[in-house]
Structure 1
Amino acid sequence: MYDVIVIGGGPAGGSVALFTSKAGKKTLVIDNNQSVTKRAWLDNHYGVNGISGPDLIAVGREQAEKFGTEWLEDAVVDIQMENGQKTVVTEGGQSLQAQHIVVATGMSVALAEKVGLTVIPGTEPRIKNILQVDNQGKTNIEGIWAAGTVAGVSMHTIITAGDGAKVAINIISEMNGTRYVDHDVLKS
């Protein structure tokens, strides 16, 4: 059983995984390798002097894996809930349980609609629908969160990554029962 399963390995999902795994939460990212970021060139990502989307995702994955994130290349076809237990079912036939699930599926709400998450009209250009979330990233189903473009934030990678970090901090805080802060400092 995982503490957190993240559906989607783009900047939002990768950022969730980086923070949750660094905080010691058993984290799995399930990525179908369809991120729109894989087709991007980024000259507007703060702190990076130009990078391809595939390279940005690779660096993010490496960071998350450094802290223990597991990464599965597969597609999620269902989320089943029974007696408070959440099970993610993959196209490859795996059934994986988690305490918290984060939907970070970019522009796609198909899975979310299938499992009963509330979908509303999008606010960004070319984004037809998004998930309704509260200011913490919680959806209408307990234990299922959303981050990034699918949660209604601008699809710029710096913003979706930040939204993923916000959702991760909120999940960790809920799990720990106290507000979580992650600040690294330079070593002298």
Structure 2
Amino acid sequence: MYDVIVIGAGPTGGSAALFTSKAGKKTLVIDSNQSVTKRAWMENHYGVDGISGPDMIEIGKKQAAKFGAEFIEDVVSDIRTENGKHTVVTESGKSFETTYVIFATGMSVQLAEKIGLKIVPGTEPRIKSIIEVDAQGKTGIPGIWAAGTVAGVSMHTIITSGDGAKVAINIISEMNGERYVDHDVLKA
């Protein structure tokens, strides 16, 4: 049983997994290896002096794995919800139970539509549809959240990674019953 399952390991999902795993939440990331970030070059990501999308994704995955996040490559084909728990099913026939799911699926809303999430018109050029979420990232199904481009934020990696972090912090806060803060400080 996982605390959080993140669907997608691009900047949004990787950032969410970094925060949830660092907070001690058992985290699984299921990635289809289809991120558009794999074709990107970034020179507009604050604090980074140019990086390829594949390098950014690999560094992010290593950061999250350092804190215990698990990663598998597969395609999520269904999510079944019963008694406040979610069973995430993959195309390869595996299933995983969790309390929280984060959609970090970039431009893809097909799975969200299939499970009955409300889909609304997109907010960015080339993004036709997004998942309707509230300001925290909650969808209409309790325990299922969405972040990044699929939740209507700008497609820029710095913004989607920040949105993944925001949603993760909101989930951790809900799980802990108090506002979660994670600030590392330099050691003297």
Percent identical among aligned pairs is: 76
User: What corresponds to 1:88 in structure 2?
Assistant: 88
Where does residue 106 of structure 2 map in the other structure? Answer: 106
**Residue number in structure 2 paired with 1:49:** 49
Please give the alpha-carbon distance, in whole angstroms, between the structure 2 residues aligned to 1:21 and 1:123. Answer: 30
Residues 10-36 of structure 1: per-residue CA shift (max 9 Å, x gap) = 000000000000000000000000000
Q: How many residues align?
A: 188
Mapped partners of 2:8, 2:80: distance in 1: 17
Task: Give the TM-score of the pair, scaled to structure 1.
Answer: 0.99
Structure 2 counterpart of 1:63: 63
Aligned partner of 2:91: which letter? Answer: E
CA distance in structure 2 between the aligned counterparts of 1:93 and 1:72, rounded to whole angstroms: 13
User: Once the two structures are superposed, what CA deviation does each residue of 1:59-100 show, in whole Å capped at 9, x if it has no partner?
Assistant: 000000000000011010000112222100001111100000
- Aligned residues: CA RMSD: 0.5
Q: Which residue of 2 aligns with 1:181?
A: 181
Q: Is 2:84 aligned against 1:117?
A: no
TM-score between both structures, scaled by the size of structure 2: 0.99
User: Separation in 2 of the partners of 1:95 and 1:84?
Assistant: 16
Residue 15 of structure 2 corresponds to residue 15 of structure 1: yes
Q: Which runs of 4+ in 1 moved over 4 A?
A: none
Instruction: Report SS of the residue matched to 1:61.
Output: helix
TM superposition shift of 1:116: 0.4
CA separation in 2, counterparts of 1:50 and 1:82? 45
**In structure 1, how many angstroms separate the alpha carbons of the residues matched to 2:128 and 2:50?**
29
